Amino acid sequence: MKFLACVIALVFAVFSVTDAMTTMMTHTHHSTREPYEKDSLAFYFDDTSNYLILKTKGYCYFMALTFAEQHMVHNPDGMRRIETQMFHFMTSATHTAMTGGDHAHVSHYVYNKHCAHEHMIKLVQ
């Protein structure tokens, strides 16, 4: 009788281990929090090339300023007006890659610091 009980226990143990090895583990619950989203925008006026530059994550957008706009960047109201205009041009203007000639006119600070690892895109009206 003891022998029969040991055989049944052994068979049960073998089937349990085999079943446990082939059964998929259930996934744990994941957090229901919203993902962390952060973005920033930085405007910079390059007086060497007369471009207004908008830096976002991964991109620098360049917009050439007219003579009148170059003077508007020195007061807060004028700067806000030009920044708003640049947002409009980002959706409506043609996006082109910066050429070698464009790079030659951009200041050392913009090229090596402000937009060093970003794609440089010129907005053409």
Q: What is the pLDDT along the chain (125 residues), one digit of tens a residue?
A: 666 665 565 555 655 655 555 556 666 666 677 776 778 889 999 988 999 999 988 899 999 999 999 999 999 999 999 999 998 988 898 888 888 888 888 888 888 888 888 898 898 87
Q: Answer whether 53's CB lies under 8 Å from 110's CB.
A: yes
How far is it, in rounded angstroms, from Cα 43 to Cα 110? 11
Which residues lie below 8 Å from residue 15, measured CB to CB, with a gap of 6+?
A: none
- Domain assignment present for 110: yes
Domain that holds residue 91: 42-124
The pTM of the whole model exceeds 0.75:
no
The pLDDT, as a whole number, for residue 84 is 93
How far is it, in rounded angstroms, from Cα 27 to Cα 39? 32
Q: What does residue 98 show for φ and ψ, rounded to 5 degrees?
A: -70, 135
- Domain assignment present for 2: no
How far is it, in rounded angstroms, from Cα 29 to Cα 11? 35
Whole-angstrom CA distances from 94 to 62, 65, 67, 84 are: 12, 16, 21, 17
- Domain assignment present for 25: no
The pLDDT, as a whole number, for residue 14 is 57
Q: Answer whether 52's CB lies under 8 Å from 110's CB.
A: no
- Domain assignment present for 101: yes
Query: Number of structural domains, the chain?
Result: 1
- Domain assignment present for 10: no
The pLDDT, as a whole number, for residue 45 is 93
The pLDDT, as a whole number, for residue 3 is 63
